[in-house]
Amino acid sequence: MESKQRQPERRSLKIGPYEICPIPTGTFGLDGGAMFGTVPKVLWEKSNPPDDKNRILMEARALLLKTPGRNILIDCGNGSDFVAKYGEKLGNKFAEMYGVDTEGPSLLKSLKAHGLTPGDITDVILTHLHFDHAGGATTEKNGELVPTFPKAQYYVQKANLETASHPNLREKASYFPANYEPLQKKGVLKLLDGETANLLPMISTYISNGHTQGQQIVKISDGKTTLLYCGDVVPTSSHVRLAWVMGYDLEPLKLIEEKKKYLGPAADEGWYLFFEHDPYCDAAQITRQGSDFAKTTTFLL
Ligand SMILES: [Zn+2]
C-alpha cells in the first residue's frame, strides 16, 4: 500500500540520558472506518489507503528509552503465542483476522537490533491493556504464560486494570487476561493511581479516559526536548486533527477535549508526538490551525 504523504525527515533524538529508539513490533490491519469514526472514507483513504477488506495498515510501535544502566520500554505490541494465550479457536484465527505480519520486525527482533535481550529491559510502561499494546508483555514458556521481560517492573493504571478485568461489551474483544494476569501472578505489575510526575527520571504520565478508562500517555522531557508517546489518544499522524477520533473510542467527545489539552502545549512548545500505530512515520511536530491542529513535519527517528 502506497501512502500519498510527504516523505518523513530522518532525525535521531536524545532526551536527557535516553536514546530514543522506535521499536516496530510488526504491522497489522484494522478496519479503516473504525479507525476514523465519523470521518468519511473519501477523506481518510488518501493518507491511509485500505486493502480489499477495507483494512488500513497499522504499525504496533513500542518505544525504547535506552541508557547504559536502564532500558525502559513503552508498550509491547500484539505479541505472539496467540494459541497459548487466546485458546485454540480464537488463537488460530487471530493473526489472520487482524492481518498480523509474522514475517517482518517483531518486538524481540527490534530489541535485538539495539543489542538488547529480554533480560536487559528494566521497566515496561503500559499505556493500557488492549491486546495491541500489551500483547507482547507476556510470553508462553514451557507451557506457562510468564512476563516476557523477566527482570522488568511493569506499570499500568489501576483504573485500566479494573476495566480490563471487568470489560464492557464494546471492549470485551480487546482485553484478555493472558496479557496481564501472568504479570500480577509474578508480582511485577505496579498499579499507578492517576497522573505521575517523574515516574522514572524525566518521565511523566498523563491520563486519558476517552478511548478507554485509565489510559496513560507518556511524556519524556529534559526541558529542551520533549516527546509525547500518544498511545491511542493520537494513534497516527492523521489523528492530529481534533475531530479525527476512532470509532473504537468509548467517549469521543471526552477524547477530543483531552486532545485539546495535550496538543496545545505540544504545538506551542514544539514537542515531538510519537505515534504507536502510524505505518508511515514515527513522530511529528504540529502547529495550531485556527481552533484545530495540523502536522508540520513528520519524522523517522
Ligand atoms: Zn486501545
The 10s digit of each residue's pLDDT in 159-210 is: 999 999 999 999 999 999 999 999 999 999 999 999 999 999 999 999 999 9
> What is the Å distance from ligand 1's center to 212 Cα?
7
What are the backbone dihedrals phi and psi of residue 130, each rounded to the nearest 5 degrees, phi first? -55, 145
Q: What percent of the chain has pLDDT over 70?
A: 98
> What is the Å distance from ligand 1's center to 33 Cα?
16
**Looking at residues 206-235, what average pLDDT do you find?**
98
**Looking at residues 1-30, what average pLDDT do you find?**
88
- In which band, very low, low, confident or very high, does the pLDDT at 6 lie, cut at 50, 70 and 90? confident
> What is the Å distance from ligand 1's center to 128 Cα?
7
Say whether pLDDT at 4 is over 90: no
> What is the Å distance from ligand 1's center to 69 Cα?
31
What whole-number distance in Å separates Cα of residue 26 and Cα of residue 109? 10
What are the backbone dihedrals phi and psi of residue 133, each rounded to the nearest 5 degrees, phi first? -115, -35
Q: What percent of the chain has pLDDT over 90?
A: 95
> What is the Å distance from ligand 1's center to 232 Cα?
5
Position 78 scores a pLDDT of: 96
> What is the Å distance from ligand 1's center to 133 Cα?
7
pTM of the model: 0.96
Q: Average the pLDDT over each of 1-15, 55-69, 287-301 and give the range with the smallest value.
A: 1-15
Tell me the β-bridge partners of 288: 293
> What is the Å distance from ligand 1's center to 171 Cα?
9
> What is the Å distance from ligand 1's center to 167 Cα?
13
User: Is 226 strand, coil or helix?
Assistant: strand
Nearest to 255 by CA among 240, 241, 242, 268: 242
Straight-line distance from the first to the last Cα atom of the chain, in angstroms, rounded to the nearest whole number: 22
> What is the Å distance from ligand 1's center to 251 Cα?
13
